[in-house]
Amino acid sequence: MKDADEHDKLMRVGELAKAVGKTVRAMHLYEELGLLEPRARSEGGFRLYGPEAVDRIHWIVKLQAIGFTLAEIQGFVKDFQSAGSGREATARVRALFTEKQAQMREQIVQLQVIENDLSEAVAYLDSCRTCTDDFAPTACGECDHHGHQKDQAPPLFAGLSRSSKDTRDTRDTREAVKAFDVPVTGLNREGN
Protein backbone atom coordinates (compact mmCIF):
# COMPACT_ATOMS: atom_id res chain seq x y z
CA MET A 1 0.00 0.00 0.00
CA LYS A 2 2.88 2.34 0.76
CA ASP A 3 4.21 2.01 -2.81
CA ALA A 4 0.79 2.97 -4.20
CA ASP A 5 0.61 6.05 -1.94
CA GLU A 6 4.14 7.06 -2.91
CA HIS A 7 3.34 6.51 -6.58
CA ASP A 8 0.24 8.73 -6.22
CA LYS A 9 2.45 11.61 -5.04
CA LEU A 10 4.59 11.48 -8.18
CA MET A 11 4.10 14.21 -10.78
CA ARG A 12 4.42 14.17 -14.52
CA VAL A 13 6.69 16.79 -16.05
CA GLY A 14 3.84 19.20 -16.83
CA GLU A 15 2.58 19.03 -13.26
CA LEU A 16 6.09 19.62 -11.93
CA ALA A 17 6.58 22.58 -14.25
CA LYS A 18 3.30 24.09 -13.09
CA ALA A 19 4.17 23.50 -9.44
CA VAL A 20 7.41 25.47 -9.75
CA GLY A 21 6.26 28.10 -12.27
CA LYS A 22 8.59 26.95 -15.02
CA THR A 23 8.11 25.59 -18.51
CA VAL A 24 8.20 21.95 -19.48
CA ARG A 25 11.16 22.83 -21.68
CA ALA A 26 13.04 24.11 -18.61
CA MET A 27 12.36 20.79 -16.86
CA HIS A 28 13.76 18.89 -19.85
CA LEU A 29 16.79 21.18 -19.94
CA TYR A 30 17.50 20.61 -16.25
CA GLU A 31 17.30 16.88 -16.90
CA GLU A 32 19.57 17.11 -19.97
CA LEU A 33 22.15 18.95 -17.86
CA GLY A 34 21.99 16.28 -15.17
CA LEU A 35 20.49 18.67 -12.62
CA LEU A 36 17.15 16.88 -12.33
CA GLU A 37 16.30 13.20 -12.43
CA PRO A 38 12.90 11.57 -12.59
CA ARG A 39 12.23 9.18 -9.75
CA ALA A 40 10.41 6.71 -11.98
CA ARG A 41 8.63 6.18 -15.28
CA SER A 42 4.96 5.49 -15.72
CA GLU A 43 3.71 2.43 -17.57
CA GLY A 44 3.34 4.68 -20.58
CA GLY A 45 6.98 5.84 -20.28
CA PHE A 46 6.28 9.29 -18.84
CA ARG A 47 8.80 10.76 -16.43
CA LEU A 48 7.55 10.91 -12.86
CA TYR A 49 8.99 13.26 -10.25
CA GLY A 50 8.65 13.26 -6.50
CA PRO A 51 8.33 16.24 -4.15
CA GLU A 52 12.14 16.39 -3.89
CA ALA A 53 12.19 17.59 -7.52
CA VAL A 54 10.37 20.76 -6.44
CA ASP A 55 13.08 21.40 -3.85
CA ARG A 56 15.79 20.72 -6.43
CA ILE A 57 14.30 23.23 -8.87
CA HIS A 58 13.97 25.86 -6.14
CA TRP A 59 17.66 25.23 -5.36
CA ILE A 60 18.59 25.72 -9.04
CA VAL A 61 16.53 28.93 -9.24
CA LYS A 62 18.19 30.27 -6.08
CA LEU A 63 21.66 29.54 -7.47
CA GLN A 64 20.73 31.33 -10.70
CA ALA A 65 19.49 34.31 -8.68
CA ILE A 66 22.86 34.37 -6.93
CA GLY A 67 24.49 34.62 -10.35
CA PHE A 68 25.46 31.08 -11.28
CA THR A 69 24.76 30.00 -14.84
CA LEU A 70 23.24 26.61 -15.55
CA ALA A 71 26.59 25.51 -16.99
CA GLU A 72 28.34 26.54 -13.76
CA ILE A 73 25.75 24.69 -11.69
CA GLN A 74 26.16 21.64 -13.89
CA GLY A 75 29.94 21.85 -13.50
CA PHE A 76 30.02 22.06 -9.74
CA VAL A 77 27.37 19.34 -9.37
CA LYS A 78 29.64 17.05 -11.43
CA ASP A 79 32.70 18.16 -9.42
CA PHE A 80 30.83 17.51 -6.18
CA GLN A 81 29.70 14.06 -7.27
CA SER A 82 33.11 13.05 -8.62
CA ALA A 83 35.09 14.17 -5.55
CA GLY A 84 37.06 11.50 -3.73
CA SER A 85 35.47 12.30 -0.38
CA GLY A 86 32.75 14.35 1.24
CA ARG A 87 35.39 16.65 2.68
CA GLU A 88 36.91 17.27 -0.75
CA ALA A 89 33.43 17.78 -2.28
CA THR A 90 32.37 20.33 0.33
CA ALA A 91 35.71 22.14 0.07
CA ARG A 92 35.13 22.59 -3.69
CA VAL A 93 31.64 23.96 -3.13
CA ARG A 94 32.84 26.21 -0.33
CA ALA A 95 35.51 27.70 -2.61
CA LEU A 96 32.91 28.41 -5.31
CA PHE A 97 30.46 29.94 -2.85
CA THR A 98 33.21 32.07 -1.24
CA GLU A 99 34.24 33.40 -4.66
CA LYS A 100 30.62 34.17 -5.56
CA GLN A 101 30.13 35.87 -2.20
CA ALA A 102 33.13 38.14 -2.87
CA GLN A 103 31.73 39.01 -6.31
CA MET A 104 28.34 39.81 -4.78
CA ARG A 105 29.92 42.08 -2.18
CA GLU A 106 31.66 44.01 -4.98
CA GLN A 107 28.34 44.29 -6.81
CA ILE A 108 26.64 45.53 -3.63
CA VAL A 109 29.22 48.30 -3.29
CA GLN A 110 28.72 49.26 -6.93
CA LEU A 111 24.95 49.22 -6.50
CA GLN A 112 25.21 51.40 -3.38
CA VAL A 113 27.20 53.98 -5.37
CA ILE A 114 24.61 53.88 -8.16
CA GLU A 115 21.76 54.12 -5.65
CA ASN A 116 23.44 57.17 -4.10
CA ASP A 117 23.79 58.76 -7.55
CA LEU A 118 20.10 58.10 -8.23
CA SER A 119 19.05 59.57 -4.87
CA GLU A 120 21.11 62.68 -5.58
CA ALA A 121 19.56 63.06 -9.04
CA VAL A 122 16.00 62.50 -7.76
CA ALA A 123 16.48 65.09 -5.00
CA TYR A 124 17.77 67.58 -7.59
CA LEU A 125 14.87 66.82 -9.94
CA ASP A 126 12.29 67.18 -7.16
CA SER A 127 12.91 70.91 -7.18
CA CYS A 128 12.29 70.96 -10.94
CA ARG A 129 8.63 70.10 -10.35
CA THR A 130 7.92 73.75 -9.54
CA CYS A 131 9.77 75.07 -12.59
CA THR A 132 7.73 76.93 -15.19
CA ASP A 133 7.15 75.69 -18.71
CA ASP A 134 9.02 78.73 -20.05
CA PHE A 135 12.34 76.92 -20.24
CA ALA A 136 13.39 74.47 -22.95
CA PRO A 137 15.00 71.17 -21.95
CA THR A 138 18.34 72.51 -23.19
CA ALA A 139 18.19 75.17 -20.46
CA CYS A 140 18.18 72.48 -17.78
CA GLY A 141 21.89 71.85 -18.28
CA GLU A 142 22.73 75.35 -17.10
CA CYS A 143 19.86 75.88 -14.67
CA ASP A 144 20.35 78.31 -11.82
CA HIS A 145 16.72 78.34 -10.63
CA HIS A 146 15.09 76.80 -7.53
CA GLY A 147 18.32 76.64 -5.56
CA HIS A 148 20.32 75.03 -8.36
CA GLN A 149 23.82 76.24 -9.02
CA LYS A 150 24.89 76.67 -12.63
CA ASP A 151 26.89 73.65 -13.83
CA GLN A 152 26.27 71.82 -10.51
CA ALA A 153 23.70 69.25 -11.64
CA PRO A 154 24.28 65.71 -10.34
CA PRO A 155 26.26 63.62 -12.84
CA LEU A 156 23.33 61.37 -13.81
CA PHE A 157 21.21 64.37 -14.77
CA ALA A 158 24.07 66.47 -16.12
CA GLY A 159 24.87 63.68 -18.59
CA LEU A 160 21.31 63.87 -19.90
CA SER A 161 20.88 67.62 -19.93
CA ARG A 162 24.25 68.32 -21.52
CA SER A 163 24.86 65.68 -24.14
CA SER A 164 28.21 65.51 -25.89
CA LYS A 165 26.39 66.35 -29.14
CA ASP A 166 25.05 69.58 -27.61
CA THR A 167 28.53 70.50 -26.38
CA ARG A 168 30.08 69.69 -29.76
CA ASP A 169 27.35 71.57 -31.67
CA THR A 170 27.79 74.63 -29.44
CA ARG A 171 31.57 74.53 -29.87
CA ASP A 172 31.23 74.01 -33.67
CA THR A 173 28.75 76.90 -33.89
CA ARG A 174 31.11 79.22 -31.97
CA GLU A 175 33.99 78.23 -34.24
CA ALA A 176 31.83 78.78 -37.32
CA VAL A 177 30.77 82.20 -36.07
CA LYS A 178 34.40 83.14 -35.43
CA ALA A 179 35.35 81.99 -38.94
CA PHE A 180 32.78 84.37 -40.41
CA ASP A 181 33.23 87.16 -37.90
CA VAL A 182 33.92 90.23 -39.99
CA PRO A 183 33.35 93.87 -39.17
CA VAL A 184 30.11 95.35 -40.48
CA THR A 185 32.17 97.90 -42.40
CA GLY A 186 33.74 95.08 -44.34
CA LEU A 187 30.41 94.02 -45.77
CA ASN A 188 29.72 95.47 -49.20
CA ARG A 189 26.61 95.44 -51.24
CA GLU A 190 26.86 94.36 -54.79
CA GLY A 191 27.05 97.33 -56.99
CA ASN A 192 28.83 99.62 -54.50
- Is pTM, for the whole model, over 0.75? no
Dist. CA 51–CA 17, nearest whole Å: 12
Q: H or E segment at 171?
A: helix 164-179
Question: What contacts 77, CB < 8 A, 6 or more positions away?
Answer: 34, 35
Q: At what angle do helices 24-32 and 13-20 cross, to 10 degrees?
A: 110
What pLDDT, on the 0 to 100 scale, is given for residue 142?
Answer: 72
CB atoms within 10 A of CB 97: 14
The predicted model gives 37-51 an average pLDDT of: 91
Mean pLDDT of the chain, nearest integer = 81
DSSP string across 83-143: -SSHHHHHHHHHHHHHHHHHHHHHHHHHHHHHHHHHHHHHHHHHGGGG--TTS-GGGGGG-
The CATH code belonging to domain 1-67 is 1.10.1660.10
Dist. CA 18–CA 20, nearest whole Å: 5
CB atoms within 10 A of CB 143: 21
More confident position, 167 or 55: 55
Angle at 74 between CA 68 and CA 75, to 5 degrees: 90
Asked if pLDDT for residue 33 goes beyond 60, the answer is: yes
Dist. CA 51–CA 72, nearest whole Å: 24
pLDDT digits (tens, 9 = 90+) for 10-19: 999 999 999 9
Question: What contacts 14, CB < 8 A, 6 or more positions away?
Answer: 24
Cβ-in-10-Å burial (0-12, 13-18, 19+) of 30 comes to: buried
Asked if pLDDT for residue 113 goes beyond 90, the answer is: yes
Residues of the chain with CATH 1.10.1660.10: 1-67
The predicted model gives 97-113 an average pLDDT of: 95
CA distances (Å), 99 to each of 17, 19, 24, in order? 31, 32, 32
What pLDDT, on the 0 to 100 scale, is given for residue 191?
Answer: 47
Q: Say if residues 67 and 103 touch (Cβ distance below 8 Å).
A: yes
